[in-house]
């Protein structure tokens, strides 16, 4: 296989995320939340591996006909923002007006964030909360907290998208990557497990989700506080 073919295959792999997004949306329309999240977990896994492959085969040079960054952003908005927001709105987690506020805040703020040219830091982390609503909403489905708690979390994280707080990219942020990457993989495992058992309240997956989510959410902020060793 030529280098061009390998690079092109990475674009094709990224594009499968659109298919998984459609499958997740179809499940969401039918209220099959566990199936929806399983498809989103698959899309999340693909999103985690296509980036390293794109850099390995230098898709910008060897398959320049397609813009991999644009393709990735389109799919990320569907799987990270649009579908999870829809699920949050249509579920019983946010009654009445609270659901409307949540979906407006999530979709609007995320559209602005995804177009923000300052979203990446010098160490390939994110400046501001990177709009990983798929991860948050999955945890909310697992724990089902009070709607005031959900609305507060959504509001705080929406504001956090535009403040100078650092959030790690588990694959690209070099600092603590030997810890961050395994934790991201463990999170994916627990997410799939929780969805597979239909978010059964006695599942240990919920605790694994909560602990790994706390690390992924606050690791970047901790790096801002703790100076790096030279």
Encode pLDDT of 138-192 as tens digits: 999 999 999 999 999 999 999 999 999 999 999 999 999 999 999 999 999 999 9
Encode pLDDT of 24-80 as tens digits: 999 999 999 999 999 999 999 999 999 899 999 999 999 889 998 999 999 999 999
Q: Is 23 exposed, middle or buried (0-12, 13-18, 19+ CB in 10 A)?
A: middle
CA distance 3 to 101: 48
Given this model, what pLDDT does residue 224 score? 94
Domain ranges in the chain are 3-225
Q: Is the dihedral of CA 111, 182, 225, 51 positive or negative?
A: negative
Please report which confidence band the pLDDT of residue 227 belongs to, taking 50, 70 and 90 as the band edges.
Answer: confident
Nearest to 81 by CA among 41, 130, 131, 40: 131
Stated pTM of the model: 0.92
Given this model, what pLDDT does residue 1 score? 80
> Residue 207 above 90 pLDDT?
yes
Given this model, what pLDDT does residue 149 score? 97
Given this model, what pLDDT does residue 4 score? 87
């Amino acid at each position: 296989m030529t280098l061009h073919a390998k690079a092109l295959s990475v674009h094709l792999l990224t594009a499968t995320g659109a298919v998984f997004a459609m499958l997740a949306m179809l499940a969401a329309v039918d209220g099959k939340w566990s199936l929806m999240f399983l498809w989103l977990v698959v899309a999340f896994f693909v999103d985690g591996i296509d980036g390293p492959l794109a850099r390995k085969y230098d898709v910008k040079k060897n398959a320049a006909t397609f813009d991999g960054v644009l393709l990735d952003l389109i799919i990320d908005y569907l799987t990270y923002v649009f579908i999870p927001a829809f699920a949050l709105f249509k579920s019983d987690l946010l009654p009445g007006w609270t659901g409307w506020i949540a979906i407006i805040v999530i979709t609007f703020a995320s559209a602005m964030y995804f177009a923000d040219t300052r979203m990446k830091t010098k160490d390939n982390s994110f400046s501001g909360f990177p709009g990983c609503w798929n991860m948050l909403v999955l945890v909310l489905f697992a724990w089902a907290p009070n709607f005031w708690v959900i609305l507060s979390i959504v509001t705080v994280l929406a504001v956090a998208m535009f403040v100078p707080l650092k959030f790690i990219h588990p694959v690209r942020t070099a600092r603590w990557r030997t810890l961050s990457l395994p934790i991201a993989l463990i999170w994916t495992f627990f997410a799939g497990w929780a969805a597979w058992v239909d978010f059964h309240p006695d599942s240990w997956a919920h605790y694994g989700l909560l602990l790994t989510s706390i690390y992924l959410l606050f690791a970047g902020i901790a790096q801002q506080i703790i100076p790096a060793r030279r």
